[in-house]
Amino acid sequence: MTALQDARPHVTTGPIRGSHKHHVEGPAGLRVPVRRIALSTGEHHDVYDTSGPYTDDSAAIDLHAGLPKLREPWIAGREPVGGAVTQLAHARAGVVTEEMRYIAVREGVDAELVRSEVARGRAVIPANRRHPESEPMVIGKRFLVKVNANIGNSAVTSSIEEEVDKMVWATRWGADTVMDLSTGKDIHATREWILRNSPVPIGTVPIYQALEKVDGDPAQLSWEVYRDTVVEQCEQGVDYMTVHAGVLLRYVPLTAKRVTGIVSRGGSIMAAWCLAHHRESFLYTHFVELCEILRRYDVTFSLGDGLRPGSIADANDEAQLAELRTLGELTRVAKEHDVQVMIEGPGHVPLHRIRENVELEEQWCDEAPFYTLGPLTTDIAPGYDHITSAIGAATIAEAGTAMLCYVTPKEHLGLPDRDDVKTGVITYKIAAHAADLAKEHPLAQARDDALSAARFEFRWLDQFHLSLDPDTAVAFHDQTLPAEPAKTAHFCSMCGPKFCSMRITQDVRDYAEAHGLTSVEAIEAGMAQESGRFADEGGRIHLPVTDRT
Ligand code: IRN
Ligand code: FE2
């Protein structure tokens, strides 16, 4: 690997507050990581863990050496079926791979479900044979909704060190995959550092690097330059690649009257090439060769939405839907070659037009996993587009989208920094989890129940530790009640001791128990008492607060 400027690059290590890394023993000696949250009741709660060895106190982290090659023996021992080494080929042949078994433990499902979903193309396991460091995960609508975090430098900002740090940081907070969208200098070296140190699958958009190789002029691109770039990235270990092969020459004019034209970087590059040469996209005409390359490594296609709408006005328009149909055609070609496929989706879509996106994708792309960027449900809140898009993300995930590409507060404004990465990941974990609850995933609600019980019983530390972002929860609580006793107090500063509804409910229950009543009777009895007092005091509403000036 290219030497880093900083000989000791810094990444965040150590367990997340209130938890530690634990390994669940799976079949055939598999050790599957979970984050074990210790509760004050003596119980514990395990949650899905994407953070790799970085949160394991007993693991020695050496970025120069890279992570342990977890999958190496599995990959070495695997015989090709029908000439193909892909998870799809194995799944179709009825083989349950080690990756599938590992995933089954993580997801709390049968390994056979993982196999059959991969076999029918409704789920993918992005796992390049040359990225043995990654911990297997699955993307598909029958499984937990996943979140991708985009990182990567641009020509004007950021270093390799910062990008490696962002990758570790994003997975710490729950990113299931990371895409390296670097476009500036050192693209190859940045990716190498990220891959060798990443516990999650890494995605890229190879056309970005290909464009750098021709000095940023799309007209100078060629199939050969692109192909060599793809091979280079496959060799390095990239697990999935965005390929904007659905941007056809004849679709480009469909964007002419749009409010925001073509907003996809890859889409605009390919549109520029098609127009400059007045020829069909080389990604489309060489698609079979591309399948043959990806198949050798088991790299998963993420068929790009180069014509996604970039504004509410352009949602679900002809250009977008024409491209989606073509992505369906390409999905079938890829699967004939035993290559796994997912489909990228929009963008900017108002709430009432979101479901249609999922329905058409499922219909036209044979239910290949849908992977969407938000969508943003309004255009009017730059600076808050993690929120405008998380609303759309939760909605589209409930409808069946398998993975959500995060949007950070910097969307439309600048390159996200470390804080934006965390905000984006946590925001998208909320959207994904909201959808898991709505889909009644068997693993989802237990965490809500555990947290709510802690909240109701004033086990403040348990409440913090069960939350998606314990550090922020503690910090907010500390702002008004930093003292240690406040972490067990039966109130917080929002309502104060007298107006705490949870404490009052508990009083009601205690009263009921003491008087041998049901809660309902207790409330009635209590109310009769209170109204007596109200009348006694001359019918004035009494506030149990002494000083309200
Ligand atoms: C996801 C769904 N639709 C687009 N994406 C992501 O956008 C994709 O995975 C990649 O991270 C990025 C590609 O952007 P362009 O090149 O389409 O703008
Ligand atoms: Fe946008």
237 and 165 in one domain? yes
Query: Residue 547: its pLDDT value, please?
Result: 42
Query: Residue 6: its pLDDT value, please?
Result: 55
Residue 276 lies in a domain: yes
The CATH number for 262's domain is 3.20.20.540
pTM equals 0.93
Does the annotation place 234 within a ligand binding site? no
Three-state DSSP at 85 gives: coil
Query: Residue 91: its pLDDT value, please?
Result: 98
Predicted confidence (pLDDT) per residue in 361-376, tens digit: 999 999 999 999 999 9
Does the annotation place 365 within a ligand binding site? no
Q: Are 378 and 412 in contact (CB under 8 A)?
A: no
| Confidence band, pLDDT 50/70/90 cuts, at residue 544 | very low
307 and 171 in one domain? yes
423 and 287 in one domain? yes
**Spatial separation of the C-alpha atoms in residues 136 and 199, rounded to whole Å:** 9
**Spatial separation of the C-alpha atoms in residues 37 and 55, rounded to whole Å:** 13
The residue segments making up the domain with residue 508 are 492-548
539 and 414 in one domain? no
* Beta bridge partner(s), residue 203: 179, 240
Predicted confidence (pLDDT) per residue in 331-340, tens digit: 999 999 999 9
With pLDDT > 90 as the criterion, what percentage of the chain qualifies? Answer: 81
Predicted confidence (pLDDT) per residue in 90-112, tens digit: 999 999 999 999 999 999 999 99
Mutate to test the pocket of ligand 1, among 177, 354, 373, 415 (most ligand atoms within 8 A of CB): 373
User: What does the mean pLDDT of the chain come to?
Assistant: 93
299 and 160 in one domain? yes
Does the annotation place 179 within a ligand binding site? yes
**Spatial separation of the C-alpha atoms in residues 81 and 298, rounded to whole Å:** 13
Residue 461 lies in a domain: no
Residue 14 lies in a domain: no
272 and 186 in one domain? yes
Listed range (334-348, 414-428, 499-513) with the worst mean pLDDT: 499-513
Query: Residue 546: its pLDDT value, please?
Result: 37
Helical axes 206-213 vs 223-236, angle rounded to 10°: 120
Closest to 376 (Cα-Cα) out of 448, 422, 431: 431
Distance 524 CA to ligand 1 centre (A): 58
Neighbours of 303 (CB within 10 A): 28
**Spatial separation of the C-alpha atoms in residues 127 and 33, rounded to whole Å:** 17
Q: What are φ and ψ of residue 204, in 5° steps? A: -145, 175
Q: How far apart, in Å, are the Cα atoms of 68 and each of 24, 63, 301, 503?
A: 18, 11, 26, 49
**Spatial separation of the C-alpha atoms in residues 475 and 495, rounded to whole Å:** 18
Residue 21 lies in a domain: no
Return the ligand 1 atom nearest residue 208 CA: 16
Mean pLDDT of 84-88: 97
Token reading at 177:
């995959």
Does the annotation place 412 within a ligand binding site? yes
Residue 3 has pLDDT above 60, yes or no: no
Does the annotation place 275 within a ligand binding site? no
Return the ligand 1 atom nearest residue 302 CA: 9
Distance 264 CA to ligand 1 centre (A): 7
ipTM score = 0.99
502 and 365 in one domain? no
Q: Which residues line ligand 1 (CB under 6 A)?
A: 150, 179, 181, 205, 242, 264-267, 302, 304-306, 344-345, 371-373, 405
Q: Are 33 and 15 in contact (CB under 8 A)?
A: no
Predicted confidence (pLDDT) per residue in 179-237, tens digit: 999 988 889 999 999 999 999 999 999 999 999 999 999 999 999 999 999 999 999 99
Neighbours of 60 (CB within 10 A): 8
Residue 367 lies in a domain: yes
544 and 432 in one domain? no
Query: Residue 543: its pLDDT value, please?
Result: 39
Predicted confidence (pLDDT) per residue in 129-152, tens digit: 999 999 999 999 999 999 999 998
423 and 326 in one domain? yes
Residue 505 lies in a domain: yes
Distance 103 CA to ligand 1 centre (A): 25
**Spatial separation of the C-alpha atoms in residues 158 and 443, rounded to whole Å:** 38
Token reading at 378:
């309004």
Query: Residue 524: its pLDDT value, please?
Result: 81
Closest to 48 (Cα-Cα) out of 200, 204, 237, 239: 200
Residue 468 has pLDDT above 60, yes or no: yes
300 and 175 in one domain? yes
Distance 381 CA to ligand 2 centre (A): 11
Residue 311 has pLDDT above 50, yes or no: yes
Residue 272 lies in a domain: yes
With pLDDT > 70 as the criterion, what percentage of the chain qualifies? Answer: 94
194 and 339 in one domain? yes
Distance 167 CA to ligand 2 centre (A): 23
Query: Residue 80: its pLDDT value, please?
Result: 95
| Confidence band, pLDDT 50/70/90 cuts, at residue 545 | very low
Q: Which residues are within 8 A (CB) of 350 and not within 5 positions of it... i.e. 6 or more apart?
A: 312, 315, 377, 378
503 and 408 in one domain? no
Number of domains in the chain: 2
Domain boundary among 440, 473, 508: 440
Q: How far apart, in Å, are the Cα atoms of 396 and each of 348, 374, 440?
A: 12, 8, 15
Domain boundary among 401, 423, 440: 440
Residue 323 lies in a domain: yes
